[in-house]
Structure 1
């Protein structure tokens, strides 16, 4: 999710399409939050790992 967010963010910046940049930044932030929650061992929605 993090890699997809970075790719979409870069494609959106290169092509100047703002909706792709917005979706990419949202995916990047959500991926980082899930990574952080998984690293500290906090379960979310019944799952301890997200991969």
Structure 2
């Protein structure tokens, strides 16, 4: 499997978990939103480092 496809599967899994965890909140911040944004930033860095 090529690295781009593999990273898209990882991103999909992260978004799915984020949607599930996003139902919980801590101090008014959705844990899912915070986690997805953090993971998305890391995923973008990974994708651009592969180019």
Give the deviation of 1:5 after TM superposition. 1.2
Gaps of 5+ in 1: 43-51
Please give the root-mean-square deviation of Cα atoms over the aligned residues, in Å.
2.3
Using the size of structure 1 for normalisation, the TM-score is: 0.51
Question: Which of 9, 31, 34 is the matching residue for 1:26?
Answer: 34
Give the Cα separation in 2 of the matches to 1:39 and 1:25: 21
Runs of 4+ in 1 over 3 A off after TM superposition: none
Within 2, Cα distance between the matches of 1:37 and 1:24? 20
Consecutive unaligned residues in structure 2, runs of 5 or more? 1-13
The answer to which structure has the higher strand fraction is 2
Aligned residues: 35
Report the equivalent of 2:4.
none
How far apart are residue 6 of structure 1 and its match?
1.9
Partner of 1:48: none
> How far, CA to CA, are the matches of 1:33 and 1:25 in structure 2?
12
